[in-house]
Amino acid sequence: MDASGTDMPKKSNRGLWIGLGVGCLALLLCGAVAAVLFFGGFLSFLGTTAPVIENVIPQIEGNLDELDNAFGAPTGIQIGVIGPGTVTVGETFNLQVRVTNTSAEAQTLDSIDFGEEYLAGISILSADPSFSDSFEYPGFYSYTFERSIPAGGELAVQFQAQAEQSGDFEGPLDICINSPVNCLNETVSTSVSP
């Protein structure tokens, strides 16, 4: 709750995990640069510094460019989430996630990730098209699809879910495009009555 007494939505921890991952990768790359510079100085005694530096530095720069591209928000994608506002305990219902590719190139729906806050009262039973894998990671449950979406095309994923307990369930819904860390963030909510 905030100072006015109203409920504040919980924030996703996914950004924290991604930030930690990027930080670790950046630290490893900095260590590689330091090692190259150290060995470059050592090899200068042998007269071989220039070829080593010329070959290693462009590779490190290329890796940093790949990191920048991998962790950005996807472009050319529109998302729509359609589901019932209210259901009763034990009821099964459909939750549709519509992904539209507005870019000029094909893109891939990598995964759809539900926040644990939503899944505290809702179970995902199946999906159409079906997911190829599912797994839990801190704060989320991920469903892997790896389905191509053609340029200008659309993919609708219909989840069948079941209300497990009464309450208001709301949480983050991450739709990941082209990689498991390149995601658009939505919110999903369902009210479950007894």
Q: What is the pLDDT of residue 167?
A: 97
Could you tell me the residue range of the domain that residue 133 belongs to?
77-193
Domains contained in the chain, number? 2
Are residue 51 and residue 105 in the same domain, yes or no?
no
* Domain end call among 24, 52, 70: 70
CA 134-136-141 angle, to 5 degrees, is 75
* Domain end call among 70, 90, 110: 70
Are residue 82 and residue 49 in the same domain, yes or no?
no
Are residue 126 and residue 147 in the same domain, yes or no?
yes
Are residue 133 and residue 148 in the same domain, yes or no?
yes
Are residue 154 and residue 61 in the same domain, yes or no?
no
Q: How confident is the model at residue 18 (pLDDT cuts 50, 70, 90)?
A: low
Q: With respect to residue 9, please indicate whether it lies within any of the assigned structural domains.
A: no
CB neighbourhood size of 66 (10 A): 11
Distance CA 82, CA 9 (A): 20
Encode pLDDT of 136-170 as tens digits. Answer: 999 999 999 999 999 999 999 999 999 999 999 99
Distance CA 81, CA 104 (A): 23
Q: Which of 79, 83, 108 is nearest to 93 (CA)?
A: 83
Are residue 92 and residue 154 in the same domain, yes or no?
yes
Are residue 90 and residue 166 in the same domain, yes or no?
yes
Are residue 151 and residue 86 in the same domain, yes or no?
yes
CA 12-15-17 angle, to 5 degrees, is 105
Distance CA 16, CA 77 (A): 23
Are residue 122 and residue 155 in the same domain, yes or no?
yes
**What's the CATH code of the domain at 158?**
2.60.40.10
Q: Please compute the mean of the pLDDT values over residues 73-83 and round it to a whole number.
A: 94
Are residue 143 and residue 50 in the same domain, yes or no?
no
Q: Are strands 183-193 and 133-137 parallel, antiparallel or unpaired?
A: unpaired
* Domain end call among 55, 70, 85: 70
Q: With respect to residue 2, please indicate whether it lies within any of the assigned structural domains.
A: no
Q: What is the pLDDT of residue 73?
A: 80
Q: Which of 186, 138, 141 is nearest to 19 (CA)?
A: 138
For residue 172, count CB atoms less than 10 angstroms from its CB and return exposed for 0-12, middle for 13-18, buried for 19 or more.
buried
Are residue 99 and residue 29 in the same domain, yes or no?
no
Q: With respect to residue 140, please indicate whether it lies within any of the assigned structural domains.
A: yes
Are residue 65 and residue 86 in the same domain, yes or no?
no
The larger pLDDT score, comparing residue 60 to residue 131, is at 131
Q: Please compute the mean of the pLDDT values over residues 5-15 and round it to a whole number.
A: 52
For residue 128, what are the CA distances in angstroms to 43, 44, 118, 171? 59, 61, 20, 22
Helix, strand or coil for residue 187?
strand
